[in-house]
Amino acid sequence: MSDIHPLAILIAACARGISGVQVTWVGCRPEEQQRIYFANHTSHLDFVVLWSALPPGVRSRTHPVAARDYWQGGVRAYLAKAVFRAVFVDRAAHSEQTGKESSFAAAHKVIDDLSAALGESDSLIIFPEGTRGSGEGVGPFRSGIYHLARKHPEVDLVPAYLENLSRILPKGELLPVPLLSRLTFGEPMRIHPAEAKEDFLARARTALESLRRKGQ
Q: Which helix (H) or strand (E) holds 171?
A: none
Q: How far apart are CA 99 and CA 97, in angstroms?
A: 6
Instruction: Let me know if 121 is exposed, middle or buried by CB neighbors in 10 A (0-12, 13-18, 19+).
Output: exposed
Q: How far is CA 9 from CA 20, 74, 110, 169, in A?
A: 16, 20, 28, 20
6-10+20-214: CATH topology: Glycerol-3-phosphate (1)-acyltransferase (3.40.1130)
The full set of domain ranges for the chain reads 6-10+20-214
Is residue 84 within 8 Å of residue 51, measured between CB atoms? yes
What predicted TM-score, i.e. pTM, was given to this entire model? 0.86
CA atoms within 13 A on the CB side of 185: 23
Q: How far is CA 182 from CA 9, 15, 54, 132, in A?
A: 20, 13, 14, 17
pLDDT per residue of the chain (216 residues) written in tens, 0 to 9: 457 888 888 888 887 777 778 899 998 999 999 999 999 988 777 888 899 889 988 999 999 998 887 777 788 788 888 888 989 887 655 544 445 555 677 778 889 999 999 999 999 999 999 876 555 678 899 999 999 999 999 999 999 999 876 555 545 544 455 566 889 999 999 999 999 999 999 999 999 999 986 555
